[in-house]
């Protein structure tokens, strides 16, 4: 089981900030900004390229709601590292949500 699946299954702890049936958002263990969250689908998918467009559409709504709830809706960046050569270290799709505002 991959490390992010272990977070989904609550086998390893994480600072979870939002969760629904399909997605989970938690704080990055090594933040690169004042706020650095990771948003992942609960069902394992290796990377962006290999993920169903339907899932990508749904995660957009999840991220928009998350940003609104945390009052960073006018101040965040999304980063996806797709593939090892692009810097992807954890092979479970994740969206980096970065903001210079604290939540």
Give the interface segment with ligand 5GP, choosing from 25-33, 43-51, 56-64, 66-74 (CB under 6 A): 25-33
Which positions ≥6 away from 70 have C-beta within 8 Å?
Answer: 17, 35, 103
What the block records as the tokens of 87 is 């810097």
* Nearer Cβ to Zn ion (70/94): 94
Torsion of Cα atoms, 86 then 90 then 92 then 93, to 10°: -40
Q: Is 95 helix (H, G, I), strand (E, B) or coil?
A: strand
- In three-state secondary structure terms, 58 is helix
Does residue 87 belong to the site contacting ligand 5GP (CB under 6 A)? Answer: yes
Report if residue 44 touches Zn ion, rule: CB under 5 A.
Answer: yes
Q: List, in order, residues 6 or more apart from 61 with CB less than 8 Å away.
A: none
Tell me: does residue 2 bind Zn ion (CB under 5 A): yes
- 23 contributes a contact to ligand 5GP by CB under 6 A: no
Return residues touching ligand 5GP (CB under 6 A).
3, 14, 26-30, 38, 81, 87-90
* Residues tagged active-site: 94
Return residues touching Zn ion (CB under 5 A).
2, 4-5, 44, 92
């Amino acid at each position: 089981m991959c490390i992010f699946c272990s977070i989904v299954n609550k086998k390893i702890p994480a600072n979870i900030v939002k969760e629904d049936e399909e997605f989970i958002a938690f704080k990055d263990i090594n933040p690169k900004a004042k706020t650095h969250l990771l948003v992942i689908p609960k069902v394992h998918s290796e990377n962006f390229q290999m993920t169903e467009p339907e899932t990508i559409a749904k995660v957009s709504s999840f991220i928009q709601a998350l940003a609104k709830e945390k009052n960073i809706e006018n101040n965040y960046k999304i980063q996806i590292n797709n593939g090892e050569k692009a810097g992807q270290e954890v092979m479970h799709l994740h969206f980096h949500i970065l903001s210079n505002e604290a939540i």
